[in-house]
């Protein structure tokens, strides 16, 4: 019922263009300032990389909306802007669009894991692994590996490679290869004009910081203690949207930079809502208050220890919780 109600909050051309212009213009302007400061004032380049990365995250949210067909009413306009922005986000539009659609169609479904989500094992699956594979999973779920190392490597390197499902999908493979060609042109020309080092010294810090922020946002949106996971036979789309997606309550300035994506339960309930109308949707449906898990900025830090779905207790737990349970089981009754 609510998803149908929210469909009234569709794209508005003036608001979409205003958001695009007021995000892309300062982003490009800051890049120019950063590039001019690489010689002699590199500290300024690194300092400006922080707000510039925030704007890149906001541009990614616009590309994300285009992928959902929600930023403009026109499919052609969505695809045009989405493909243009992917040169800045380094994210192949068609390939990501398909994988993200699979994420929306299967989030919280234990039988359909592995596409567009954070790999999550159940306690039983983890305990059945060999010691070496357990170590590999623990490293993967470590925030320093997943965020500080994994996020930049994924955006800068792995998304250049048509592997796995993307390799088998002709459209996805074509999307990746065409983006790689576009990147050679778009970043190659400035490298010829001002040099390789200034271009890399300007854009890499922005990309790295933006990837950290984006990875952190995506993680917190679904990886929290009382999230939703069900076998396919019991899985429900609306329950997964409202109980398996958090309401990440951010300070207003961070909500602006992140394009309201913290209202993730509303987004999963109806992905055709453009980001600039998510707050209005939430305000129009007070009955949703209290259903989705509200997480503050401070509380989000605690989500990083969660790594396994406990099917018995029906919540996400950390590796330390398994040790505590094992010790308790060994105690004499």
Residue 24, pLDDT score: 98
Residue 291, pLDDT score: 81
Domain ranges of the chain: 2-330
Residue 173, pLDDT score: 87
- pTM for this prediction: 0.92
Residue 133, pLDDT score: 96
pLDDT in tens, 9-20: 789 999 999 999
pLDDT in tens, 229-282: 999 999 999 999 999 999 999 999 999 999 999 999 999 999 999 999 999 999
Residues of the chain with pLDDT under 50: 1, 329-330, 333
Cα separation, 239 vs 2, whole angstroms: 12
Residues 230, 271, 164, 236, Cα dihedral to 10°: 20
Give 282's strand partners.
none
Q: What 3-state DSSP class applies to 295? A: strand
- Quick one: which of 114, 84, 89 has its CA closest to 99? 114
Query: Environment class of residue 76 by beta-carbon count within 10 Å: exposed (0-12), middle (13-18) or buried (19+)?
Result: exposed
Cα separation, 168 vs 166, whole angstroms: 5
- Quick one: which of 256, 299, 296, 262 has its CA closest to 282? 262
For residue 267, give Cα distances in angstroms to 55, 56, 70, 152, 204.
20, 20, 11, 25, 30
User: Could you please report the per-residue DSSP string of 84-141?
Assistant: HHHHHHT--HHHHHHHHHHHHHHTTBGGG-SSSS---EEHHHHHTS-HHHHHHHHHHH
Q: Which residues are within 8 A (CB) of 163 and not within 5 positions of it... i.e. 6 or more apart? A: none
Cα separation, 137 vs 16, whole angstroms: 41
């Amino acid at each position: 019922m609510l998803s149908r109600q929210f469909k009234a909050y569709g794209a508005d051309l003036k608001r979409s263009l205003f958001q695009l212009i007021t995000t892309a213009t300062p982003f490009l302007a800051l890049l120019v300032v950063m590039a001019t400061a690489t010689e002699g004032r590199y500290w300024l380049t690194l300092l400006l990389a922080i707000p510039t990365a925030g704007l890149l995250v906001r541009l990614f949210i616009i590309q994300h909306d285009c992928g959902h067909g929600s930023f403009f009413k026109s499919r052609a306009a969505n695809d045009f802007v989405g493909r243009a922005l992917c040169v800045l986000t380094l994210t192949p539009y068609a390939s990501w669009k398909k994988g993200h659609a699979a994420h929306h169609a299967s989030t919280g479904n234990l039988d359909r894991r592995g596409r567009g989500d954070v790999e999550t094992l159940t306690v039983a699956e983890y305990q059945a692994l060999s010691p070496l594979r357990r170590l590999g999973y623990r490293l993967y779920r470590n925030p320093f590996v997943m965020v500080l190392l994994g996020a930049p490597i994924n955006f800068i390197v792995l998304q250049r490679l048509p592997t796995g499902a993307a390799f088998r999908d002709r459209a996805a493979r074509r999307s990746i290869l065409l983006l790689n060609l576009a990147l050679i042109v778009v970043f190659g020309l400035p490298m010829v004009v001002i040099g390789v080092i200034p271009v890399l010294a300007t854009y890499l810090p922005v990309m790295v910081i933006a990837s950290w922020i984006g990875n952190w946002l995506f993680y917190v949106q679904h990886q929290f203690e009382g999230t939703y996971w069900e076998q396919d036979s019991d899985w429900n789309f609306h329950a997964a949207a409202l109980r398996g997606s958090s309401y990440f309550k951010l300070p207003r300035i961070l909500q602006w930079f992140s394009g309201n994506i913290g209202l993730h339960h509303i987004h999963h309930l109806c992905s055709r809502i453009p980001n600039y109308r998510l707050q209005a949707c939430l305000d129009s449906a007070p009955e949703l208050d209290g259903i989705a898990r509200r997480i503050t900025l401070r509380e989000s830090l605690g989500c990083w220890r969660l790594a396994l779905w406990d099917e018995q207790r029906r919540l996400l737990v950390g590796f330390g919780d398994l040790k505590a349970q094992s010790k308790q089981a060994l105690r004499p009754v």
